[in-house]
Amino acid sequence: MSNFQKKMAQLTKNKETDEVEQVSLTEKLQNTLKELKEVMEQRREKVEQLHREIAEIEKENEQLQATIENLLEGFS
């Protein structure tokens, strides 16, 4: 096998390896993006849940404040 043929064989092999690595990297990137989207969705849902809990606590605080004010008015 001549040097030229060896070089061509090596270039072909390198090209095939590069293509396989590209596919592998593409798959890894797609999986990473999918996982990232899932995490972001979970966090968005958690933030919404926390907002609902905060709103509920604020409402309870307002009711408690009104009760306390009524009690204090009874002592006046």
Per-residue pLDDT reduced to its tens digit, 23-55: 788 888 999 999 999 999 999 999 999 999 999
At 33, which amino acid appears? L
Which one-letter amino acid corresponds to residue 59?
Answer: K
Contact partners, residue 1, CB within 8 Å, separation at least 6: 9
> According to the model, what pLDDT value does residue 5 have?
77
Q: 11: pLDDT confidence band, cut at 50, 70 and 90?
A: low
pLDDT(76) > 80: no
Q: What is the percentage of the chain residues whose pLDDT exceeds 90?
A: 59
Sign of the four-CA dihedral 64, 70, 73, 74: negative
pLDDT value at residue 43: 97
What pLDDT score was predicted for residue 8? Answer: 67
